[in-house]
Amino acid sequence: MSKAQPQGPRTIVITGAARGIGLATATILAGRGHRVVMSDIDGDLASEEASALGERASGYGLDVTDRDAFREHLQMVEGEFGPIDVLVNNAGIASASVNILDQDPAITDRTIEINLKGVMNGTIEAIRLMEPRGRGQIVNVASLAGVMGVPGLAAYAASKFGVVGFTESVRSEFTDKGLSFTCVMPGPVSTGMMDGTSSSPIVSMLTPKEMAAGIVAAVESGRPRVALPRSSYLLARLTSILPPAFGIRLGRWTKIDRIYTHIDPAARAAYEERIRR
Ligand SMILES: NC(=O)c1ccc[n+]([C@@H]2O[C@H](COP(=O)([O-])OP(=O)(O)OC[C@H]3O[C@@H](n4cnc5c(N)ncnc54)[C@H](O)[C@@H]3O)[C@@H](O)[C@H]2O)c1
């Protein structure tokens, strides 16, 4: 059951908010009168986008892999804007490769550092601030690749399975302390992360705005899980309980197995280069 959420404007920190789903989420939340802190490794772009959203939004540089920097960032936000009501751990990267041996080991490590350890850093430091107050919400953005294996995204799936397991676990640990936890599991969303990938006839691509609307609804209701599109979530859950040989056949039949293994390198080059920077 969702916990009752406080009414009125809240202070919400969103990581990876300079682009994509994070930016779309910040845009809707600022438009609904919340105070939005947009944190991104690309601090200049976060500040620029925040300025465009008006006085309810502010942009800052933050590398979520740096635990001390994350703690100081959250403390700075509280000093500036008061208690943080919601932290959305959204920053993430996805590098596609034919298989895990084909992936640069440095990017494999970075995937775990950002997508899993970055989410853990933020969650732990936010719990430290929220627990004494007995209120607060942490929204962790995982993926449908956090409930089913995806060829071409092995390290990414490992990081996202980690986010799902971590979020479900801390929810149980702090359920009686007034804190709420939301695990977000998006299917493909049309951001830079999907550049140059293939498509499957049965998987629809959401816009960042559609995905953000689901996250905003969870922020305002305290819903514990958001999985969109619903049909893809059910397919992912089904795949995860089928015997593996069936799951692999289903992936081939639906062409889901090609989404991240049959890449247009030219169309993907800018994204892959950006996440290596
Ligand atoms: N796009 C999809 O299809 C899809 C599907 C499922 C889940 N997701 C998840 O949604 C989240 C947002 O992805 P997106 O599609 O908007 O990608 P995006 O690339 O458009 O945005 C990600 C943002 O994270 C920032 N970032 C990267 N490393 C960072 C770090 N170390 N510290 C702080 N910020 C950092 C980037 O600068 C960028 O602005 C990710 O966690 C991603 O895994 C995306």
3 is a domain residue: no
User: pLDDT tens for residues 209-240?
Assistant: 999 999 999 999 999 999 999 999 999 999 99
64 located within any domain: yes
Which residue's alpha carbon is nearest to atom 31 within ligand 1? Answer: 63
Residue whose Cα lies nearest atom 42 of ligand 1: it is 92
- In a domain, residue 1? The reply is no
Of 41, 70, 260, the one to substitute when testing ligand 1's pocket (max ligand atoms within 8 A of C-beta) is 41
Query: Does the predicted TM-score (pTM) go above 0.95?
Result: yes
Nearest one of 2, 22, 7, 29 to 224, comparing CA atoms? 2
* Strand locations in the chain (E): 11-15, 35-40, 57-61, 86-89, 136-141, 179-186, 225-228
Buried b (16+ CB within 10 A) or exposed e, 56-68: bbbbbbbbbbeee
What pLDDT does residue 1 have? 42
Task: List, for residues 102-122, the tens digit of each pLDDT value.
Answer: 999 999 999 999 999 999 999
**55-71, pLDDT tens digit by residue?**
999 999 999 999 999 99
- Identify whether 6 is part of a domain: no
**Mean pLDDT estimate for the chain:** 96
Q: Which residues of the chain have pLDDT under 70?
A: 1-4
Closest by alpha carbon to 224, among 187, 174, 189, 188? 174
| Number of structural domains in the chain | 1
Does a structural domain hold residue 256?
yes
State the pairing for strand pair 179-186/57-61.
unpaired
| 276/272 Cα distance (integer angstroms) | 6
In a domain, 207, yes or no: yes
> Can you give the pLDDT at residue 277?
86
Kindly name the residue from 60, 156, 233, 271 that is annotated as catalytic: 156
Domain of residue 34, CATH code: 3.40.50.720
Contact 14, 8 (CB under 8 A): no
| Domain presence at residue 82 | yes
| Any domain includes 2 | no
Show the domain range for 193. 11-276
Q: Within a 10 A sphere around the Cβ of 109, how many other Cβ atoms?
A: 11
